A and B are shown apart, each in its own frame.
Chain A
Amino acid sequence: MLRGSRVGQLALFLLPAAAFFSFVVLVPSGQGAAYAVTDWDGLSPTKNFVGLDQFLAIRDDDAAADAIRNTLILAVTITIGQNVVGLLLALGVHSQIKLRNVMRVLLFAPIVVLPVAAAYLWQYLLSPDGAINYTLRTIGLAGLAQNWLGDPSLVLWSVSAAIIWQYAGFTMVIFLAGLVTVPADIIEAARVDGAGYLRRFWSIVLPHLGPAITVNVLLTTISGLKLFDQVFVMTHGGPGHASETISTVIYKEAFLNGRFAYGTAMALVLAVFVAIVSFGQYYALTRRNRTA
């Protein structure tokens, strides 16, 4: 009876959050999935069932194909870049350097800037006459000045750099939390035994960072796959479709082109794709952590 009462109490505590989650996430997601099998334009009072037509249209849409490719490139680039930079920053501020606490705050600071505000800042920095090109020209490196956001071959790397700049601090903090769990006596013992820095890092530190790596890779991959704000502000998906992502296509089709049902179909595809990648990644990484 006590157990039943306990379950009841737990359910009562969970109920508000569950209700809120259902109202904000589950119900709209279900509605979106329902719209995806109709021809609704977002305005008409009628919605006609069209089966999988919207999903087949995604298959035939060149802009959608570009968006999927760009999204994957951005997700992989940001995941690798942000984690490598975050790890290096964490190793740096975990050392005994002076001002390490100040460094930690400064490196974390970009995360508190609104993504849209950071995107506008980078749009200016990367403009043809922006601070980056201006600096390069001033120091005699005019040949390195580029059309960072207007060149189709550079735009994805430019957007990735802006995002890595903003979120590497967040990744750093999670790695720092992992670094403090590394037993200092094992490190010391390895040092006494003659193990160099790289050997100590690879054999001792890195295995202890398993959970931190799992969390960071998962979060960066998911955010990379859902990327919208920075791309929309910095490039509007251009030049042409060179930086279009799945999220920007969803926005344009649903809200600007009057193809609401098509937009929700793409959103559903994105949600399923993110779920598959996330679960797969989580399974692989946690399995690795268990065997390590």
Chain B
Amino acid sequence: MRRLGVSMLVLALGALGACGGDEDAGEGNGSQGASAKATGTLTVLTNTTLEPAMKEMIASFTEANPGVTIKATYAEGDAGSQTIVTRLRAGNAPDIFYVFAGAGNVNSVQPLAKNGYLLDLSDRPWAENLSEADKLGLGLDGKVYAAPQGVQGITYVYNEQAMTDAGLSPPETWDEVIPFCEAARAKDKVAYAVGYQDQWPAIFIPYALTATLVDGPEPDFAQSVLDGEAEMVDSRWSEALDMTLEMEKAGCFQDSPTGTSYDAAFDLVGKGKALGTVGVTVIADAIRPKAPDGTVLLSAPFPATGNPDETYLSAGPLQINAVSADTENPELAKQFVDYMMEPEQLALTGKLTGYVPPFPVSSFEPKVEAEPLIEFQEVGRTVPIIDQWWPNPKVQEAMYVGVIDMLAGKAEAQEVVANMDKAFDR
């Protein structure tokens, strides 16, 4: 996950995920890819987090369709994003590639669709099963241009053994957070590992806090900012940033947080030197290889108030596939996307990667670290990841640079939020 930005309407707090939907909402799709006996060659560029599932799906699809060849490459974050855009401009983009929801990234759905780079997928059978909020983020002018392979939520991912050995448990209210950090320090552990050398991971704690402080209680606030009817400084955003600073001063983070890379932070959690880290739940797959065999990684919501029942989770589609409008095999590309969106494949994706299907799938067995996200979806306490509301990537950049400047004593919370407002307008 790098940057997300989408202009969306949250129609209901449980608009995302499995709440209230029919079981196996996508089951009517059938194995269109397998039964069509398609032929041709496809190129796919997707995120490395999807790689385990993508390899399996390609293998099964091509086994059912021997005349099809699918060549996949895998990229991470920014490197993949700017590669996709450069190749789109050059006219040699892969047939299927990953995008972000909304408008806040250079390879987001809306700017690409607006400029004619994406194939309309509105008529695909899985499209009717998307929530209204997803349709807005993954489309433009009433059309759907991308298929969400998985949903993620921002939680506190922690090392169960390390937590147990320290005799601690994740805090359920904000009042417990600082004492939790102090207790961890007393046991020579870090409560919350952070990787701020890479800069962008500084988004996670503020995102987790504002889900509860801002967007949960006021689901229309983000839209009103977008419409120019309110400003970020009018909200509890600066309070969330001050809480982040309070955590740093209380020793919740490891020493030298701005000198530690995100990967090094995963290392700390994997080895048990840190109890956990706040991020999208799928980071458990990045931590696991760094941990001893048998290490169990769990997740818990990150609280922002004194009442755990007030806690909301930031959640949204993060593994999203789109089809190039210039593909030479549009029907084959659509068939493969349809195949990836079949319930069995969504369940497989969830099993192998930690993503949660975008709509209910009965055969889905979540990884243990994804269970809190599913629970919060079922009770309607998720909100879209906030930067999906932002019109451009500069707002997010202003936020995470501001957080790091605050840690260095070079900025105040109000000033950072004012810069975020300024970035809205550019």
Q: List residues of chain A with CB under 8 Å of any chain B CB.
A: 41-45, 63, 123, 126-129, 147-152, 235-242, 252, 255-258
Contacts and interface: CB of A to CB of B under 8 A. Distances in A.
B34 interface: no
Nearest to A133: B256
Interface residues of B, number: 39
A256 B393 contact: yes
Contacts of B397: 252, 257
B115 A239 contact: no
Q: Top 3 A-B pairs ranked by shortest CB distance?
A: A150-B259, A150-B258, A128-B256
B259 A151 contact: yes
B256 A236 contact: no
B198 interface: yes
Interface in B390-412: 392-394, 397, 401, 404-405, 407-408, 410-411
Contacts of A123: 261
B199 A238 contact: yes
Contacts of B217: none
Contacts of A236: 197-199
Nearest to B2: A256
A45 B88 CA distance: 12
B117 interface: yes
Interface stretch (B78-86, B140-148, B307-315, B378-386): B78-86
Nearest to B115: A43
Given A127-B264, A257-B397, A238 B197 contact: yes
Given A127-B259, A151-B259, A236-B198, A257 B404 contact: no
Contacts of A128: 254-256, 259-260
A46 B260 CA distance: 42
Interface string B84-128: 011011000000000000000010000110111100000000000
A240 B256 contact: no
Contact of A239 (B3, B117, B264, B408): B408
Given A152-B410, A239-B408, A42 B255 contact: no
Interface string B175-198: 000000000000000000000111
B200 to A, nearest CB: 8
A44 B111 CA distance: 8
8 contacts: A126-B259, A150-B256, A151-B256, A240-B405, A240-B408, A252-B397, A256-B82, A258-B106
Nearest to B407: A239
Given A236-B198, A238-B404, A255-B82, A150 B115 contact: no
A128 B257 CA distance: 9
B161 to A, nearest CB: 21
Contacts of B3: 256
A257 B199 contact: no
Contact of A43 (B85, B199, B261, B405): B85
A239 B200 CA distance: 11
Given A41-B111, A238-B197, A238-B199, A150 B106 contact: no
Contact of A256 (B81, B114, B116, B257): B81
B115 A127 contact: no
Contacts of B82: 255-256
A45 B260 contact: no
Given A127-B261, A148-B259, A256-B106, A239 B393 contact: no
A149 B259 contact: yes
Contacts of A43: 85, 88-89, 106, 111-112, 115, 117
A138 to B, nearest CB: 17
B401 A241 contact: yes
A147 B405 CA distance: 15
